[in-house]
Amino acid sequence: MAKILVTGGTGYIGSHTVVELQQAGYEVVIIDNLSNSNINVLDGIERISGIRPDFIEGDVTDIETLRKLFKAHPGIKGIINFAASKAVNESVQKPLLYYRNNLVSLLNLLELMPEFGVEGIVFSSSCTVYGEPDRNPIDESAPIKVATSPYGNTKQISEEIITDTIYSGAPIKSIILRYFNPVGAHPSAEIGELPLGVPQNLIPYLTQTAAGIRKELTVFGNDYNTPDGSCIRDFIDVTDLAKAHVIAMRRMLDNPDGDKLEIFNLGTGRGLSVLELIESFERATGVKVPHKIGPRREGDIEKIWAEPSKANNVLGWKAEMDIDDTMRNAWRWQQKIAAKTK
């Protein structure tokens, strides 16, 4: 089976995707600078799949590091590019860091792919490219809106860079995946999300509150134009999401005459409000989450959920996990990391 380079492979979505690739028979090489992940993630991966992936500690923004990697690991056929910064607020404070990390890394990979015979790249994009949608569910033909943060802008620019490169006739293929809100953890509780410091995203804040690490969760706004007034998102289980990457990779590598560039939404097709998600967590785990209503968070989108039909019909992929099971997995993972850090 083909050899795949996973950049950012010790991160949250990266680690889950490495496991799924290995279980599908792919050989995996990871490069990660460990800026937002831990080397112990490799142990978790190995405990699930029985295989320790090759690991290079390094930065994808350094083209010489990458060149060395491709020379030392000949025969890499595909890349999945997770190595990127992703905190919306931080990107507003440190735009240059975000443009450098997220764009230079992509430029380096695209530049080296033809040189080393790498055939395809799966790119992690985000539903953030749609901004506040005019209608929901939203499909891939919806207009791209002006980005509201440097982070969001890096995703838009990255999509343009990939598109221009493919249209220029470069001998590579790409599948761009627009994620909605990835949540949960591997059912084995061996890997999951490891936020550094105070979590910015809903689920890690929620599970840390349930664990007593945070006093209470603030729901950012209950005066939105939604049934219960809180924002609506499409929460997609991280293992479901990871599986889509394996299918996308197979599609690129196994169909030499297939499309050179494709874009897919990865979501469940179901919108859930922040308050409904809290309810789901409490129902699934029996644990109460102390929470209060606070003011709106600046820059938040009111409601967005995916029309995933294209991924369902063309990729043959469908989100399968029940949200309560996803919440149980998130909780088991939180309990495990809390036990470790005590």
Sign of CA dihedral 122, 127, 129, 133: positive
Considering beta carbons, is residue 77 or 214 the nearer one to ligand UD1? 214
Q: How far is the CB of 184 from ligand UD1 (least distance, A)?
A: 13
Coil/strand/helix, residue 246: helix
Return the biggest CA–CA distance within the chain: 56
Kindly state the smallest distance separating residue 249's Cβ from ligand UD1, in Å: 21
Quote the DSSP letter at residue 35.
S
Contact 227, 273 (CB under 8 A): yes
Min dist CB 272 to ligand UD1, Å, is 10
In the set 98, 130, 151, 179, the catalytic residue is: 151
Burial class (CB in 10 A: 0-12, 13-18, 19+), 205: buried
Q: Which is nearer to ligand UD1, 233 or 251 (CB)?
A: 233
- Residue 95 corresponds to which tokens in the numbers above? 């735009």
Min CB(66)–ligand UD1 separation in Å: 25
- The dihedral through the CA atoms of 83, 144, 119, 253 has a sign that is positive
Question: Of the two residues 114 and 295, which places its CB atom closer to ligand UD1 in the complex?
Answer: 295
In the complex, minimum distance from the CB of residue 47 to ligand UD1, in angstroms, rounded to a whole number:
26
Interacting residues with ligand UD1 (CB under 6 A): 86, 88, 126, 128, 149, 152, 181, 200-202, 205, 217-220, 231, 233, 274, 297, 300-301
> Could you tell me the smallest distance in angstroms from the CB atom of residue 193 to ligand UD1?
10
Torsion angle of C-alpha atoms 288, 15, 197, 106, degrees rounded to 10? -130
Cβ nearer to ligand UD1, comparing 186 with 233: 233
Q: Which is nearer to ligand UD1, 71 or 292 (CB)?
A: 292
Using CA atoms, how far residue 20 sits from 28, 207, 247, in Å, is 10, 25, 10
- Token pair for 50: 């029985």
Contacts of 127 (CB under 8 A, 6+ apart): 138, 178, 179, 180, 181, 234, 265, 267, 304, 306
Nearest residue to 188 (alpha-carbon basis) of 76, 50, 323: 50
CA distances from 276 to 210, 232, 234, 271 (A): 16, 9, 12, 10
Taking the least distance from each CB to ligand UD1, the nearer of 107 and 301 is: 301
Q: Are 56 and 91 in contact (CB under 8 A)?
A: no
Identify whether 151 is a catalytic site residue. yes
Active site residues: 151
